[in-house]
Structure formats: structure tokens, C-alpha cells
Amino acid sequence: MRIGVAGINGRVGSVLIEAIRQRGDQLTGGFDRPGAGRQAPAPDITLFHSLEELAAVSDVVVDFTVAAAVTAHSNAISRHRAAWVLGTTGLSEAAQLGVVQAARHVPVVQAANFSPGVTLVLDLAARLAAALPPEDYDAEIVDMHHRQKLDAPSGTALAIGNAVAAARGTTLAAVRDSGRDGVTSARATGAIGFASLRGGQVVGEHTVLFTASDEQIGLTHRAFDRRTFAAGAIRAAHWAHGRPPGLYSMRDVLGLR
């Protein structure tokens, strides 16, 4: 299969190169931030000038870039037939609408976290949330990432929050409590709290806690290596190739629904 990588010079992009070749797929090339000084990561890798050029020669484009690029990428992807595996997080509502539009034209697999373990954590968090009443069990979500990360809470933390909120019959927007600082009021019943830690080169850690007066249940996932995201994204690429247009998730890829 022919796979192109958007964000090929990035942390995840670099790991994707190795993962694609190890699996025996063809790396068509990459695309990265437009502008002077951007070079291909290796002499045998083609760096395209636009995402459109990359999409035109690829069966699937795997995209780990920045939220600000997603609207332009949605438009470019819609004009070609390549499937889109989108891992970029921190999208605005407008950017997310662009993704939904693109999914009318091509298959799109979007996940805040492509690791199979996190996909299962989302399921388990939902089951815990459904079983533990919000009046008694306070849900709090902690994420820790490397110091360069641009968005907080992380996309994965928000995905866990969405799963917990949905299992409790509400929306995250209605109960989200993030960025506590200074004199805050008492914790609202049913709130879902977030705390984001940043430091060093932590690849990604997430914990969801359900705390009652007399007990606490915690669920933690730690990614030790970006290869877990790359392997999941390539798996998603193979799954997406040849599917009808639509917006899919890692749950679909893993057959969890």
C-alpha cells in the first residue's frame, strides 16, 4: 500500500517512516510545514510541496501535524481519493467540521490516540462511569506529556472525558472543569475535572480516577514509545484503504463495535 506522511519531520512522523517500511508498505513521501529550510528527513524520501501532491500519489495519508493546519488539509484531502488517518489533536470546532466534510468524500480514521491500549481504556472508563454514580464518585482525569506539547488537556484526556460524560448521560461541555487555580468554589457534583502536567520528554500518560468518600478506582495508561501510535496508525491505514467514505474511529479499526 502507498502511504504518505504529513508532519514527516515531527516526533510521530519520524517513527512512522520506520513503521511503514517495516510493514513492507511503500512510503510515497512526506509533507511538512511549508517554508524555507524544511528538508526531507532522508535523501531517499520525497518531500512534497503540498498535501495535495502527496495525496495524489498515496492510497492513504497519515497526518500528525498541528491543529492550525487541519482545515487546509481537510480541503486538500477532499479533492483526491486517498484515505486520511488523522492523529492531530487540539482541533477547533471549525476544524472538526472540516474533518466531517472531508469524510463525505474519503474514508477518514480520526483518533486522539492510536494506541490499542488507550482505545480499550476509553471503553473501560465508560463502563466504570456507567456503574459508579456521579453523586458518589468524582471523576478526575490527569495527563502528563513532554514539555513541547501545544494543547491541554490532551486530546486523549478529552476523549476519556467524553467517554465518561456520555456513559453518564451528559456531555463533556456541560460538566467539564479544567484549569483550577486560586480560590475555586467547591467541586460541583457530576463535574469531570482535568489536570495537565508537562515536563521532560514524557511520551504520554493518562489516568482517570473515580473517587468516593470511602474508595478510589484508577485506570492508568502509559505510552513508553511513540511506536505504539505509529503502529496503530498504520493498522488504521490498512483498515481504511478501500472503505467507503465516512468518519471512523480506532474502535471501528479494532472491531469494538
Of 61 and 208, which has the nearer Cβ to ligand NAD?
A: 61
Candidates 28, 65, 74, 207; binder of ligand NAD (CB under 6 A) is 65
Candidates 9, 96, 196, 211; binder of ligand NAD (CB under 6 A) is 9
Task: Please answer whether residues 102 and 86 qualify as being in contact, where contact means their C-beta atoms are separated by less than 8 angstroms.
Answer: no
Candidates 66, 191, 219, 254; binder of ligand NAD (CB under 6 A) is 66
Candidates 3, 32, 122, 167; binder of ligand NAD (CB under 6 A) is 32
| Backbone φ, ψ for residue 240 (5° rounding) | -75, -30
Candidates 210, 229, 239, 248; binder of ligand NAD (CB under 6 A) is 229
Residue of 73, 80, 145, 221 with catalytic role: 145
Active site residue 146: no
Residues numbered 138-157 forming contacts with ligand NAD, rule: CB under 6 A: 155
Of 25 and 151, which has the nearer Cβ to ligand NAD?
A: 151
Residue of 73, 80, 146, 149 with catalytic role: 149
CB of 216 to ligand NAD, least distance (A): 28
* Residue 48 sits in the site that holds ligand NAD (CB under 6 A): no
* Residue 89 sits in the site that holds ligand NAD (CB under 6 A): yes
* Residue 12 sits in the site that holds ligand NAD (CB under 6 A): yes
Which residues here bind ligand NAD, judged by CB under 6 A?
Answer: 6-7, 9-13, 31-33, 64-66, 69, 87-90, 111-114, 155, 229
Active site residues: 145, 149
